[in-house]
Amino acid sequence: MNLVGQIVLILCILGAVLFFAKEIRLRYRLVKLGAKGPQRWDRPVERLGYAVGRVGAQICSIKDRPLVGIMHAFIFYGFIFFAVATINHVTRAFAPEFSLWGHGLFNNLWFLGVDIIAILTSIGAVFLFVRRYIFKPEPITKPWPFSRSPQSAIVLGFIFGLMVTYLLNQGADMILTGKSFAAWMPFSHAASTLLTGMSIPSLQIWNAVFWWAHILMVLGFLVLIPHSKHLHLIAGPINIFFRTREPDGTLQKIDFENTEEFGVTNVNQFQWKNIMDFFSCVDCGRCQDVCPAYASDKPLSPKVVMMSMRKHILHEADHLISGQDVSEPVMDKWQTPDEIWACTTCGACMETCPVKNEHIQTIIELRRGQMMMENKFPQELEPAFRGLETNSNPWNLGMSERATWTEGLDVPIMTEKGEAEYLWFVGCSGSFDDRGKNISHAMAKILNAAGVDYAILGTEEKCCGDPARRAGNEYLFQMMAEENVATFKQHKFKKILTSCPHCYQVIKNEYSQFEGEFEVVHHTELIAGLLDQGKIKLSPNGDGKMTFHDSCYLGRYNDIYEAPRKIMKAMSNGNLAEMVHSKNKSFCCGGGGARMFMEESIGTRINHLRVEEAEQVGAETIGVACPFCLTMLDDGVKEKGIEASLQVKDIAQLVAEQLV
């Protein structure tokens, strides 16, 4: 390349790099402006290894959509291999014989890889273009207006163009230099055959065109990255590194003594990790694909929450960087009440997200802002909050009635017994709700039959606080958590037993925020253990097909899948059918995230969709392991008028019926 060409190249590179750096710096500053939160630098080597492994293996792309993921992997590895090829491509404008890897065997093998990956990347780009713009799958093309961006078409065009121009440039170079790399670069050699027969002057012109087209597309892609979803190329791996190490869905504590802002009403109140999530979003729609709210025609799409917040923070960038107040609050232009209150906090979005975004924390922060700063929340929650405040249960029944379900049963009270191996935390549903009481009666029968050393708190027990925390009423939750932790510490026991996965999650994973470290056992774990030890025996009393519904808080949040299935298989003579959505892919009952105490007036009822899945496998009994799930699915069966052919029971009830 002559001097003029070299100067033009340097100016183009400087311009693109400076623009890229300027835009990346802006986004970095916006992340840094986020409210302080956990710094997440613990175990850096482990975090780095996880991020490199997850990104390098492309598990995040392949696991839920194998074919699409493989095509994405082709493009990803294309970027890896072409990083060296591009360095060589540019440097040879100044030093024609330069090669980053030298000129030995490794260099030849590397560029054989480049040659092959160029074809695979081209296939991947064409496949993804056809999928997005011809077949138009819902997860990436809906809802409007997020489906109308031309950015993906431009980027895929750039990627395809980069591969084609590289191969043609290599092919022309082979002819002009007389060097044959056919053994090492078969596809470049094939490209050279397309150019055979051209005159040398024409070939030189076309070689320059291919070279410049390639480098200008590289620089164009560099300019486009910060303004598109393809920022995830940079932000995604960083976001994975800073992923939460707590169980999915575990919410952060508000320090009420040192802050006057509770939750989020303005975008600058989000923590830095929330903002990092916004910039990392891939717009792949995997979260939307598995969201029960979206599937049941609610306004919520976790993908849209991320993308809306990204647009919002960029919209406010000038105000934020200059230290001014934001021009628009988050609600109602950027998010709507129907969106944030539709979330069941099931965690499916977080489980499937390839870049480990924490959608639930974002939504709960918005709820907290509405609840505690704006005093705006669904009115159906008012009685539940009043009940929690005055009688320590969301049904607002008298505290003195908490242990009346034990009448006629041999259930010991901790204050009377003194100490026990298990402190049975019965929960509000198990104490006050009729269907929940049936679970408690069954558990008492099982515990007594097995000779388990246990006791309950009786009137000392209060709600664990889960409905308050998931609804955004953090102050009320903390008050209840602190009181419960203090009560627990007054008694002697080894483990806490609970039948409610919501109690399980909060006591096990969130009470540690209040100096409450307890070993917690779910009743399915205990029952499975009793069966293994031979302390209880079952006599299966029917041949009807059963299915098991995984509670989100038991399964996805706490990875308890096998214990309930072991019990169900023992009761069903092996006649246990899995629904379409099961285990970590389970579909929510619709009762989480305080939705248990709210009306469902938009779209299809979530519990109806889940009941239909049980019908599809021919189940006669749905086994559950959560009082919320029991209520929601039992209501769904009755609302659909199929209670004669399908029953819903907690595992404890089914076991108690079959005890020998």
| pLDDT digits 0-9 by tens, 591-618 | 999 999 999 999 999 999 999 999 999 9
The pLDDT, as a whole number, for residue 459 is 96
Rounded to whole angstroms, how far apart are CA atoms 651 and 568? 7
Q: Tokens at residue 173, please?
A: 């170079």
**62 CB contacts (<8 Å, ≥6 apart)?**
69, 70, 72, 73
Which band of pLDDT confidence, cut at 50, 70 and 90, is reported for residue 488?
very high
Coil, strand or helix at 647: strand
CATH C-level class of 267-373? mainly alpha
Rounded to whole angstroms, how far apart are CA atoms 361 and 375? 19
| Chain Cα centroid distance, residue 137 | 20
User: Could you tell me if residue 285 is left (phi over 0), alpha (psi between -120 and 50 degrees) or otherwise beta?
Assistant: left
Lowest mean pLDDT among 123-137, 177-191, 245-259, 307-321: 177-191
**626 CB contacts (<8 Å, ≥6 apart)?**
499, 500, 501, 502, 551, 553, 554, 589, 650
Classified by CATH at the fold level, domain 538-658 comes out as Rossmann fold (3.40.50)
Cβ–Cβ contacts within 10 Å for residue 508, how many?
A: 22
User: In the beta sheet, which residues pair with residue 621?
Assistant: 546, 647
The pLDDT, as a whole number, for residue 181 is 57
The pLDDT, as a whole number, for residue 105 is 86
Contact 546, 571 (CB under 8 A): yes
Contact 344, 590 (CB under 8 A): yes
Which band of pLDDT confidence, cut at 50, 70 and 90, is reported for residue 507?
very high
Contact 354, 231 (CB under 8 A): no
- End-to-end Cα distance, the chain: 89
**Quick one: average pLDDT of 39-44?**
91
Which band of pLDDT confidence, cut at 50, 70 and 90, is reported for residue 646?
very high
* DSSP percent split of the chain into helix, strand, coil, nearest 5: 60, 5, 35
**Quick one: average pLDDT of 450-474?**
97
Amino acid at 458: G
The pLDDT, as a whole number, for residue 140 is 84
Q: For residue 20, what is the enclosing H or E element?
A: helix 3-33
Which band of pLDDT confidence, cut at 50, 70 and 90, is reported for residue 180?
low
The pLDDT, as a whole number, for residue 513 is 96
Query: Would you list the domain boundaries of the chain?
Result: 45-241, 267-373, 392-531, 538-658
Mean pLDDT rounded to a whole number for the chain: 94
Distances (CA, A) of 180 to 175, 184, 192, 318, 537: 8, 9, 10, 55, 77
**Quick one: average pLDDT of 359-383?**
96
**Maximum CA pair distance of the chain?**
102
